[in-house]
Amino acid sequence: MTHASPDTATGKTHSLIDSKLAMGWMHTARFFTTAAQLNQLPRVEVPEIAFVGRSNAGKSTAINTLTQQKQLAFASKKPGRTQHINLFALGKQGVTDAVLADLPGYGYAAVSRSDKERWQRVMLNYLMSRESLSAVVLLCDPRLGLTELDEALLEAIRPRVEAGLKFLILLTKSDKLTRAEQAKILSITKLNAGGGEVRLFSALKKQGVDDVAQLLWHWCHPEGLPAAPAVAQATTIATEPEQNQP
């Protein structure tokens, strides 16, 4: 099996086999559980990848595109209404090897100030203390750039990024930019990404889809492909609530 390691020049993960493997893996995503608060989330023993971003950044669309499922993360017509952390399991049935966490979008104007503040606390608490969190994908509409809340989020996770938390800024809706604008925003964002990865992404044009799937696969499988018998021993999800949470 020729699975590629990231290309150091471009930071991209190329290989046809890898792409099929990664896209097939993303496609296994299924609903696992939902929780309004951190202490209601189950402890998980596998890498967890959180998707965060302001309302309307394209988060639901990106999750649906990456998992090749129309309704997995409901592309809500009422952004900001579903204030829950939704978890999706990845991997073959019975051998979950990663979890996607879909966090509610922030910054939605029509939500009351107290709801916003409550939600920001839940989110920051999650990002700073969730044990299984191994990667954060921040979705950003490049026409708006990184907002104050995006910056606050980056600041909050900085110590964990320095301690090894993986981090990707996804510049969404790239089909709305010209090639020149894409190149410009990509280089500017890379300068501000503090060592994290940055990718252009378009659900419409399918730009970046394979590459992001491969990146997430590699993050969740740092050892590469396990030998066939080891797959059956992949870690499972426990069902008790997370302990020691406020």
Ligand X SMILES: Nc1nc2c(ncn2[C@@H]2O[C@H](COP(=O)(O)OP(=O)(O)O)[C@@H](O)[C@H]2O)c(=O)[nH]1
Three-state SS string across 18-42, please?
Answer: HHHHHHHHHHCCEEEEEECCHHHCE
Yes or no: say if 49 and 100 are a contact pair by the CB < 8 Å rule: yes
**Using rule CB under 6 A, residue 173 touches ligand X:** yes
Binding residue (CB under 5 A) for Mg ion from 19, 28, 60, 207: 60
86: β partners: 34, 102
Q: Tell me: does residue 107 bind ligand X (CB under 6 A).
A: no
Sole window of 3-11, 37-45, 75-83, 128-136 interacting with ligand X (rule: CB under 6 A): 75-83
Out of ligand X, Mg ion, none, what residue 56 binds, judged by CB under 5 to 8 A for its kind, is ligand X
- Angle between the N-to-C axes of helices 209-220 and 16-27, in degrees from 0 to 180, rounded to the nearest 10: 80
Nearer to ligand X, 79 or 91 (CB): 79
Q: Which is nearer to ligand X, 68 or 129 (CB)?
A: 68
Residue nearest to Mg ion (CB): 60
Q: Which partner in Mg ion, ligand X, none is near 58 (CB below 5 to 8 A by kind)?
A: ligand X
Cα separations (Å) of 118 from 32, 65, 112, 154, 196?
A: 24, 30, 10, 19, 28
For residue 157, the one-letter residue type is: I
Amino acid at 59: K
Q: What is the Cα–Cα distance from 76 to 94, expressed in whole angstroms? A: 30
Q: Out of Mg ion, ligand X, none, which partner does residue 209 contact, by CB within 5 to 8 A per kind?
A: none
Chain positions contacting ligand X, by CB under 6 A: 53, 55-61, 75-76, 79, 105, 172-173, 175-176, 202-204
Chain positions contacting Mg ion, by CB under 5 A: 60, 76
